[in-house]
Structure 1
Amino acid sequence: MTDSERTADGAGLPWAQRPAHRLWVQERFARMIDFVQPSVLPDGGFAYLGGDGAPMAGREPSLLLTARMTHVAALASVLGLPGSERLLAHGLSSLDGAFRDEVEGGWFGTLERSGRKTAYEHVHVVLAAASALAAQAQGASVGDPRALAREATRIVEERFWREDEGALCESWSATWEDPEDYRGANANMHAVEAFLAIGDALDEDLWHERALRICERIVDKHARARDWLLPEHYDAQWQELPDYNSDNPNDPFRPYGATYGHLLEWARLLCALHASPRVATPAWVLSAAGDLARKALSAWGVDGREGLVYTVGWDAKPVSGIRLHWPVCEGIQATALLGALTGEAEWERWYRRLWDHAAAYFVDSTGSWINELDEDMREGFAVWPGRPDVYHATGAYLAPLLPAWPFMTVAATTLT
């Protein structure tokens, strides 16, 4: 069989281009949308679901999960999945009402309407608004997501963006006082995604330019200097805090040390930035994406068990050996994009390996993913019990089927 014949009949195609693979992931995404239907709460937000799909007792709805669910629902709406516009309308209503601070501006992290206002949560509101705009452009009747987008970008620009730093500050009190003496890579990483999304949704290049500036600071400067073991924590002058949270290695948002899943997530976002025509990206952007992904995947099974550990210290030795679902999801997306952009065969091998690992340990018959594995490779409950967050799984299912640019909720129109 010649190479052209092999390509023609599909045998030589990457998995993400094969009809059966594409059908498999889209069908499981549809199952997952069915799974989350019971999460709608009458007083606003979405319930924290357990593995049985029922709301978990003692878990309150949050701004973060509400914004992420709104983004996922918008994608499902573009694809035409029944139930998605109900989820989308509820998410937008919650963001415009239950979580919104109409007095001081911005959004509260919980329905208790108290606590600090964080960049991490606010950039997810931007992401939700961007996806809702894309869904509205495809005919979804969802109110006024453009007003939400304008308000969310205004708050991020006025309260969190630091032009002199080319990055975001971390958090404020509820009345926009007492700025936190901390800078975090995690919030800024999600800002890159939100900025790429809103730049496409609003047709504004500025947001992609800002995304590049964040990557220049954190990836090209700090990660490169650490041989791609990216530091997560900094003070307000962007001095690294290598011992931050050393006594709390399983923290869900600010764990000690380096996080391999974040290296893969940065790799995914750098691929999207590289592909964007809205900003002139230097050659290091795509190169760094490959370097970060290789750094993470080279540690596969480092503690003798299949998969990626949660965190490592600066000697690259495991600190937290639990396995979380989201690094696998991010690895699937990053390797698919790197394979498509570079044509290098190593990424296709990793893409298949990651999906096999996911199918063996994480993907449930409902399409949802087990959030966490303990040291016996069984479902764990130390960091993220239950099935509250379908954002990363959505990316794993859909991003490999789409081009690196434009933003995925816009690009998803090609799957309809």
Structure 2
Amino acid sequence: MSDPAPPDDAWLDAECRRLLAFGTRVVHPRGGAAWLDDDGAPDLARPVHTWITSRTVHVFGIGALLGVEGCAEVATGALDGLRGVLRDDDHGGWFAAAGPDGEPDDTKACYAHAFVMLAGSTAVVAGLAGADDLLAEATRVFEEHFWDEDLGRVVDEWDRGWTSPAPYRGLNSTMHSLEAMLAVGDVTGDHFWHERAARLAGLVVELAPSYDGRLPEHFGPDWSVDLELNRDRPDDPFKPYGATVGHGLEWSRLLLHLEATLGDTAPAGLLDTSRLLFDRAVADGWHADGAPGFVYTTDWEGRPVVRERMHWVAAEAIAAAAALHRRTGDEGCAQRYAEWWAYAREHLVDRERGSWHHELDPSNRPQAHVWPGKPDLYHAVQATLLPRLPLAPSLARAVALSAARPAPA
């Protein structure tokens, strides 16, 4: 059998627009983004989450930049949730979620606030009403409460009144803080955000070779590594036990975006670490149990722990392979890119009900153990866009520049 051919730009564009069409009903009646079921209908029995709402602003803000009809209205409806039901008017910042009855989950999480910054930066590029104020507030709150200038790292969580930080520190919030910092620096021109992103990346450059490319995710308040967290709940959607294959791939890509952003001032080791993380994730995660697809997590020896296939892992694999190929010209990455798109198109793309199946069992049959419904377009939409764009600037700015650039004669 011949190697699969990668999708062309026309297919990627059509898939991006198909995904956006699935999410057009996402705006919750109270503002923000609803949790979507398998058919794209809002599940109003579930909370409105700040991270989903922020990703919705980001994704549909990009849709607006692409000229997709209706996307600006969806992005604005989600943004209204960040200015309303999800915002803590008393203490500042954003709740983790607002329940069906409007009562907040008043955790103040770095993960969610990083996505508010990303949403704000994309909304500014897309010219959405209220975007400048949202971004200004989001960056102020992040600087005041989540950025640790002395360590060059982030604090993971606070109580509602910002009186006491939780003891946990995490690499997931670190990763999405870096992503947001690149975008904020691009949009505002305040390049100290890029410098902060580089400081965050230093932790991964240090950790990756020490653990043979398997990144520890969980830490104590002094940033001591905790390799055993959630061993009894290994499929936790945000804090799983062991090494998370998809995060190795996501970090691999983000380090290349950082390198491209910083240019000659980029710290040493970004490309080498990106390659190490990519190779380890592929060796441990892809086809690890005899069936196609990436397992969710492995132990510290690379043995699969949670064997379910998550759609976001395949999306990040696609984007990482494209980024490494763009950076290095490695044809092996191009072959992987084509192979993983072939897998996604066969197993994940849902042609009947829309979007992508969010979770498959180890035999690649749809299931909903960790991720019921289809609440998130962020990873899949980005997988259709990142391969078509340069490594820098960040996504919304790159889409805007691409849209403004005249077609070749």
**TM-score under structure 1 normalisation?**
0.92
Deviation at 1:77, TM superposition (A): 0.5
SS at match of 1:38: coil
Deviation at 1:39, TM superposition (A): 1.4
Q: Work out which of the residue numbers 97, 114, 126 in structure 2 matches 1:123.
A: 114
Deviation at 1:155, TM superposition (A): 0.6
Deviation at 1:182, TM superposition (A): 1.2
The CA distance in 1 between the partners of 2:81 and 2:263, in whole Å, is: 32
Tell me, which stretches of 5 or more residues in structure 1 are unaligned?
A: 1-13, 137-141
Matched, 1:335 2:321: yes
Matched, 1:48 2:39: no
Matched, 1:373 2:360: yes
Q: Work out which of the residue numbers 288, 301, 315 in structure 1 matches 2:301.
A: 315
SS at match of 1:320: coil
Calculate the aligned-residue CA RMSD, in Å.
1.4
Query: 1:250: which partner in 2?
Result: 235
Deviation at 1:308, TM superposition (A): 1.0
Query: 1:132: which partner in 2?
Result: 123
Range with bigger deviation, 37-46 or 184-193: 37-46
Any conservation in 1 of the 2:28–2:42 contact (CA below 8 Å)?
A: no
The CA distance in 2 between the partners of 1:301 and 1:57, in whole Å, is: 37
Query: 1:239: which partner in 2?
Result: 224
Q: Work out which of the residue numbers 360, 373, 381 in structure 1 matches 2:346.
A: 360
Q: Work out which of the residue numbers 193, 216, 239 in structure 2 matches 1:207.
A: 193
Q: Work out which of the residue numbers 151, 155, 158 in structure 2 matches 1:165.
A: 151
Matched, 1:105 2:96: no
Matched, 1:270 2:261: no
CA shift in 2, pair 1:326/1:221, >3 Å: same
The CA distance in 1 between the partners of 2:162 and 2:387, in whole Å, is: 39
Range with bigger deviation, 143-152 or 252-261: 143-152
Any conservation in 1 of the 2:214–2:280 contact (CA below 8 Å)?
A: yes
CA shift in 2, pair 1:39/1:95, >3 Å: same
Tell me, which stretches of 5 or more residues in structure 2 are unaligned?
A: 404-409
Moved over 6 A (4+): none
Alignment length, in residue pairs? 393
The CA distance in 1 between the partners of 2:172 and 2:264, in whole Å, is: 22
Deviation at 1:231, TM superposition (A): 0.2
Deviation at 1:84, TM superposition (A): 0.3
Q: Deviations over 1:46-95 (max 9, x none)?
A: 22111112123632221110000000011001000001011111122111
SS at match of 1:376: coil
Matched, 1:281 2:266: yes
Any conservation in 2 of the 1:205–1:279 contact (CA below 8 Å)?
A: no
The CA distance in 1 between the partners of 2:372 and 2:44, in whole Å, is: 12
**TM-score under structure 2 normalisation?**
0.93
Q: Work out which of the residue numbers 64, 76, 81 in structure 2 matches 1:94.
A: 81
Deviation at 1:351, TM superposition (A): 0.4
Identity %: 39
SS at match of 1:288: helix
SS at match of 2:180: helix
CA shift in 2, pair 1:268/1:397, >3 Å: same
The CA distance in 1 between the partners of 2:225 and 2:264, in whole Å, is: 28
Query: 1:389: which partner in 2?
Result: 376
Deviation at 1:195, TM superposition (A): 0.3
